Chains A and B, each alone.
Chain A
Amino acid sequence: MAKEIICAGFGGQGILTTGMILISAGMEQDKNVLFYPSYGSEMRGGTANCTVKISDKLIASPNSKHPDILLTMNTPAIDKFEERLKPGGLLLVNSSIAPDDRTYRDDITVVKVPATDIAAEVKNPKGANLVMLGALAAHSELFSVEYMEEAIVSFFEKKGKGKFNEKNVACYRRGVEGK
């Protein structure tokens, strides 16, 4: 298994945390993992993106020319990365932000989740990225739905933020359901 994922969205949407959760989950399974953030002046423009690679083999470049999965949390992220997605790849769209009438490539799987709305409903506005991770787990074979949940819980516990996990898991599970 070798998977390349690009996560992208606004700064503050937890994009980098999303990437870190994914590689932590990979590391716990003894996979080779790599996380490459956008940095410096690029970072200050308000958009954030990171590349995540999880593989049984050595990982070469930190860049991903043709990712398997694209997790987007706003429209500019789709604009920027959709064309790079591998044919047959998975595009996760935050439908709370991306317009309903937007059209997508027809050779990819598009999964729309109203992540920002769900996070607000669960009263965990910072958990929109976890809703997206729920959708990712449900629609890809990267990690099982159960393992991804454990990985999220363990990630926040290790950071000393275990007290948020109830609401975090609520976000995640809604993401798995997709609504």
Chain B
Amino acid sequence: MAKVLLKGNEALAEAALAAGCRFYSGYPITPQTEILEYLSWRMEDVGGEFIQAESELAGINMVLGAAAAGARALTTSSGPGFSLKQEGISYLVAADLPAVIVDVMRIGTGLGDISQGQGDYWQLTRGGGHGDYRTLVLAPDSVQENADMMAEAFDLAEKYRHPVLIASDAAIGQMIEAVEIPEFIEHDIDKFDWTIKGCKKGTEQRKIQNIYYTHPDYETYLADKYAEMEEQEQRYENIQVEDAELVLVAYGISSRVCREAVEAARAEGLKLGLIRPVTLWPFPVKAFEEAKAAKAFLTVEMNILGQMVDDVKLATCGKYPVDHYGSIFEIPEYDGIIEKAKEMLKKGEV
């Protein structure tokens, strides 16, 4: 397929259809609304179901029903709306249901504002709702990845019977880039026996409920499931990490600027590298094995509290200084990152 110019949100929506998604229910909120608007007409074209739900709560619980019935189901939101979806995400996890939920992050706590941000890292990676769970989280850094990650997200969701979150942000969602939409694939709603379809006489009834009620060895099952995801699904991209004295750690929109920072710093002799987590959970601990020359790590995120710092400290067993370069009103600039890196190296704290 030839490249086309699409907004990140639209590319994500079209790619969801390409991945076989035929059910969407969501609620408008900037900056993810283009996904809902696009699917409001495009879903019908491909014979799927689109519902503008009365709330995010209704939207996510419709997705739960559609997923239980066998569809590849999607809902999308941003910040405040994503919080409302946590109830449903917790229930999806409890019932071992696959679904894809997108958070096009905006800035701030409470209402915050509509501009780009990366303030939902904790919510995305720590479960977000009540209970003892985490979800797989993929973080695209371009319009192309917004498209490429949809099929991967649905595949992972089905592989583990677990919801998968996409951590997009307003910048990735609103920007237009040239993108190649993946080939369309067919999804069969009867692909799995566990989906509800009607209980034939003499066969076992299908129950979609918290598996805790029925699983013969729930504790082991749960521990093993998460251990497998942590072992198998770490995804990352390392850029000039091996000889880097200071390693930047950034995902999504911030990682793009960090690439620029690495290149510019090396041009002036400063050995920067970049670890770009592609999965935010599981956090790509394996990526840090390559950082053999590192003296310190610097996360670059569009939040003020440095939400990823703890994960970097854990990944490096607390052996190195880890600092944070945050900016929330504007996307960070590469020169500011380099300045901060120099400061860290000079301070002698490393």
Contact = CB atoms under 8 A, between A and B. Distances in A.
Instruction: Note whether A and B contact each other (Cβ less than 8 A).
Output: yes
Interface of A: 20, 23-24, 27, 32-37, 39-41, 58-63, 65
Q: Which 7 A-B pairs have the closest CB atoms?
A: A60-B260, A35-B176, A40-B114, A60-B256, A62-B175, A27-B178, A40-B30
14 contacts: A20-B176, A23-B178, A33-B178, A34-B175, A36-B176, A37-B176, A40-B30, A40-B114, A41-B114, A59-B177, A60-B260, A61-B257, A61-B260, A62-B174
A52 B177 CA distance: 10
Contacts of A41: 114
Contacts of A65: 333
B334 interface: yes
Contacts of B115: 40
Contacts of B253: 61-62
Contact of B256 (A24, A39, A61): A61
A37 B114 CA distance: 13
Contact of B5 (A27, A37, A40): A27
B114 A39 contact: yes
Interface in B58-84: none
B333 A61 contact: yes
Interface in B164-196: 171, 174-178
A105 B266 CA distance: 33
B5 A39 contact: no
Given A35-B176, A36-B174, A36-B175, A20 B5 contact: yes
Q: Select the residue from A23, A41, A63 with max chain B CB neighbours within 10 A.
A: A63
Given A23-B178, A32-B177, A63-B333, 6 more contacts: A27-B3, A35-B177, A36-B171, A36-B176, A37-B174, A61-B334
A60 B257 contact: yes
Contact of A39 (B3, B174, B177, B178): B174
B134 interface: no
Say whether chain B's binding surface is mostly helix, strand, loop, or mixed.
mixed
A125 to B, nearest CB: 26
B324 interface: no
Interface of B: 3, 5, 30-31, 114-115, 171, 174-178, 253, 256-257, 259-260, 330-334
A61 B255 CA distance: 9
Contact of A34 (B176, B257, B333): B176
Output the residue of B171, B176, B260 with the most chain A CB within 10 A: B176
B331 A61 contact: yes
Interface SS majority for chain A: mixed
A105 to B, nearest CB: 21
Contacts of B174: 36-37, 39, 62
Contact of B331 (A23, A37, A58, A63): A63
Contacts of A61: 253, 256-257, 260, 331-334
Contacts of A63: 330-331, 333
Contacts of A39: 30-31, 114, 174
A23 B30 contact: no
Contacts of B5: 20, 23-24, 27, 33, 35
Contacts of A23: 5, 176, 178
Contacts of A34: 175-177
Contacts of B176: 20, 23, 34-37
Contacts of A20: 5, 176
A37 to B, nearest CB: 6
Nearest to B333: A65
A61 B141 CA distance: 11
Given A41-B114, A60-B259, A63-B330, A35 B30 contact: no
Given A58-B259, A60-B257, A61-B260, A40 B31 contact: yes
Nearest to A60: B260
A39 B115 CA distance: 9
A28 to B, nearest CB: 10
A16 B345 CA distance: 43
Nearest to A51: B175
A17 to B, nearest CB: 12
B334 A35 contact: no
A23 B171 CA distance: 17
Nearest to A36: B175
Contacts of A24: 5
Nearest to A26: B178
Nearest to A19: B176
Contacts of A62: 171, 174-175, 253, 331
B114, B177, B334: residue with the most chain A Cβ atoms closer than 10 Å: B177
B257 to A, nearest CB: 5
A140 to B, nearest CB: 21
B31 to A, nearest CB: 7
A36 B5 CA distance: 12
A36 B177 CA distance: 9
